[in-house]
Structure 1
Amino acid sequence: MTETTYAVIFAGGKSSRMGEDKALLPFGNYSTLTEFQLAKLNTIFDKVYISAKENKFGFDCMMIEDNYTENSPLVGIISIFETLKVEEVFILSVDAPFVNKETIEKLLEHNESMLDVIVAQSPSGLQPLCGLYKRSILPLAHIQLAKGNHRLKDLLRLANTFFVKFDEDTPFTNLNHPEEYQKALRTFENR
């Protein structure tokens, strides 16, 4: 029998550049980008959660609410491991809809016990919100939180991190601005 696998969608960002909550924007055949990501990850993982400051979603989902007042992915990671009694979890940002099953499987095939994190690295740089995080990262994450350093790239440099190189940026396209969202909608419709 195989172990239960877990994934978490990070959907708690402020979406200030988008001008509205991107996690709640429609995408594909779904009412929200979050539901689109949830449906995709549910085909790969046994249990999929959503990480955010509060449950702002009008659909049935398993939530992990942040345990701290600060608003950052670092806080999300700490809250996940404080809430779930799991050894590892795959994390994906809600605004990266083109990360597909093949991309995720390529990351997971590098899973080794001595690693704290396995994340994607594309030509434009690290993709810290597309990767497998392990409970062993928690002490380092707490140290960074105490220092007030919320930068995931700094955390990844301190941890035993494996960077999986990808040749293209396209799968990791983030929808930060209205024009990026509109372009992604068109791209998805033409697939």
Structure 2
Amino acid sequence: MPENTFPLPCVIFAGGKSSRMGRNKALLPFDGFDTLAAYQYARLSPLFASAVLSVKTTKGYPEGLPYLPDDPSLADAAPTAGFITAFRSLDAERIFALSVDTPFVDGTVIRALLARDSRELDAVIARTARGTHPLCGIYHRSLLARFEAMAASGDHKLGRMLSESRVRYVDFDDEQLFSNLNHPHEYEAALKTLDKK
């Protein structure tokens, strides 16, 4: 493993409903790539020991990328299903979780989160003045039972689960790094940001 590689798997969560975007945002073109999913995988996979895309189903997604399809028995349980499938499938005590629609989270953010991680924690989560970013952080296998309980109860609120777990929040000042592409205007703004770089 290269010295500058983060020693854990990266799970890119791309299985959400994209209801506010009106279409699957993971499949939108981005920065010269046919899909945002391919863009995120291309930039993140060199940084980590491994990287994989967590999806509800591979239908409609480009071939040639590593996918972790949700367990069919956990239908409509995103992102809970993604966490359960990741921990059941990957031989790792912790994973780095990132939503596919946060294309500006970079190695500086990841490094800062890893620097604050420790074995006695369940998770290390990014936070800015606007709030916490549950899908930008490190999750430990110690949370698997909690995720399974969430799936069984139908309660998929990550914030609630984290509030009851051993979590360390790491504060960041730059809101732009955590921009989510939830709505069409946010996607367009992100494309304009790329044009300026």
TM-score by length of 2: 0.92
3-state DSSP class of the match of 1:133?
Answer: strand
Q: Give 1:33's match in structure 2, choosing from 30, 33, 36.
A: 36
Q: Cα RMSD between the aligned structures?
A: 1.5
* Aligned residue number for residue 11 of structure 1: 14
Post-superposition Cα deviations, 1:85-112, rounded to whole Å, max 9, x if no partner, equal 2111101100001111111111111110
Q: Quick one: distance in 1 between partners of 2:188 and 2:169?
A: 30
Post-superposition Cα deviations, 1:171-190, rounded to whole Å, max 9, x if no partner, equal 11100111110110000111
Q: Give 2:62's match in structure 1, choosing from 58, 69, 83.
A: 58
* Aligned residue number for residue 88 of structure 2: 82
Q: Quick one: distance in 2 between partners of 1:95 and 1:120?
A: 15
State yes or no: 1:102 paired with 2:105.
no
Q: Quick one: distance in 1 between partners of 2:45 and 2:75?
A: 29
Q: Quick one: distance in 2 between partners of 1:75 and 1:42?
A: 22
Q: Give 2:24's match in structure 1, choosing from 21, 26, 39.
A: 21
* Aligned residue number for residue 135 of structure 2: 129
Change (3 A) 1:48 1:132: same
1:66 to partner: Cα distance:
0.8
3-state DSSP class of the match of 2:162?
Answer: helix
1:29 to partner: Cα distance:
1.8
* Aligned residue number for residue 176 of structure 2: 170
Q: Is the 8 A contact 1:122 1:165 kept in 2?
A: yes
Post-superposition Cα deviations, 1:109-149, rounded to whole Å, max 9, x if no partner, equal 11101011111011111100000111011112222222221
Q: Quick one: distance in 2 between partners of 1:17 and 1:145?
A: 23
Instruction: Report how many aligned residue pairs link the two structures.
Output: 191
Unmatched segments (≥5 aa) in structure 2: none
Paired AA for residue 18 in structure 2 = S
State yes or no: 1:153 paired with 2:156.
no
Post-superposition Cα deviations, 1:22-75, rounded to whole Å, max 9, x if no partner, equal 000011121111111111111210210000111132131111111111231112
Q: Quick one: distance in 1 between partners of 2:70 and 2:30?
A: 25
1:4 to partner: Cα distance:
4.7
